[in-house]
Amino acid sequence: MRKRSPVFLIICSLYAMGCLNKTSEQTAATPPQPATLADLHLFLAKPVYRPDEPIPLNMKIKTGKFDLLVPYATVEGTGAFTELVVKNALGKIVEPTHPITSPSRIKVLPQGSRRIRCIQGIDLKAGSAKKAALEDLRTYYNLEPGDYTLQVLMEMEIYREIFASKPQQIIDLEREHASVQSTTQMSPDAKRQAISYIQSEIEYFERKQAAKSKEIYLPVNALRGSKELASNAAVLTIQ
């Protein structure tokens, strides 16, 4: 009987153990990457400024695949820059002379017999972009001539729902609507007419309320969670 060569036997053993399985070795699946919640892009109008020149700072906030209900103050005006980090050429953090603060926008709103604590919010649609601006960096930092890097860190809170405040007229009409639907003292035709009229009244007051205020509020107890975000590092030179 013809003897098998040692090399042949080794190859057979490797196949048996799956070591030479091409489908497993060559087509290993790449794990899916998590969806980006939002990207922060920090930028200056120009890279070099004079010692006495205002330094406006801008940031673009671009959302990913999901709509986001977030606090208005987090992404609007100076509120977007509360966690700005400024470092000098040696990598040392430069402390602000005046902290950048975010205004509190807590508001207590009526909801039937209860009162709900809310925060002013904004609905950032998926794939949209919003700009925030700091009018002058020198308002908050005393910067000597030299090179600096600027980066924004942000803890973006995400909420589940918008506070739905109803005027008393709508609450009363909804009660009347339920009462008419459950009554047995009206003919079917009269009930349909009454329900149609009440529904038209409800829609009228809903349109009136929507036109009255474009602000939205988020119930404080509807906080879903938060996500830490970091912008790119923008380079600043003061001559």
Distances (CA, A) of 51 to 45, 76, 144, 233: 16, 28, 7, 21
pLDDT band at 205 (very low <50, low <70, confident <90, very high): confident
Q: Are strands 223-230 and 146-159 parallel, antiparallel or unpaired?
A: antiparallel
Q: pLDDT of 17-37, one tens digit each?
A: 444 444 333 434 545 445 578
Q: Which residue has the higher pLDDT, 62 or 214?
A: 62
> Alpha helix locations (H) across 113-231?
168-182, 188-212
- Determine, yes or no, domain membership for 27: no
Tell me if 198 sits within 8 A of 205, measured CB to CB. no
Identify the burial level of 209 via C-beta atoms within 10 angstroms of its C-beta, where 0-12 means exposed, 13-18 middle and 19 or more buried.
Answer: middle
Give the pLDDT confidence score for residue 184 in this predicted structure.
Answer: 86
Q: pLDDT of 136-189, one tens digit each?
A: 999 999 999 999 999 999 999 999 998 876 666 777 788 888 888 888 888 988
- Determine, yes or no, domain membership for 177: no
Q: Which residue's structure tokens are 């909804």?
A: 174
pTM, entire model: 0.68
Query: Considering its fold, how many domains does the chain have in total?
Result: 1
Give the pLDDT confidence score for residue 7 in this predicted structure.
Answer: 43
Mean pLDDT of 44-69: 95
Tell me if 151 sits within 8 A of 83, measured CB to CB. no
- Determine, yes or no, domain membership for 143: yes
pLDDT band at 56 (very low <50, low <70, confident <90, very high): very high
- Determine, yes or no, domain membership for 103: yes
Residue 220: give the domain boundaries: 34-165+213-238
- Determine, yes or no, domain membership for 182: no
pLDDT of 82 over the 70 cut: yes
pLDDT band at 213 (very low <50, low <70, confident <90, very high): low
- For 20, which DSSP code? T
3-state secondary structure (DSSP) of residue 27? coil
Tell me if 94 sits within 8 A of 86, measured CB to CB. yes
- CATH code for position 117: 2.60.40.2970
pLDDT of 14 over the 60 cut: no
Q: pLDDT of 95-134, one tens digit each?
A: 999 999 987 778 888 776 788 999 999 999 999 999 999 9
- For 171, which DSSP code? H
- For 95, which DSSP code? P
pLDDT of 66 over the 50 cut: yes
Whole-number mean pLDDT of the chain?
Answer: 83
Structure tokens at 179: 């009462």
- Determine, yes or no, domain membership for 5: no
- Determine, yes or no, domain membership for 108: yes
- Determine, yes or no, domain membership for 150: yes
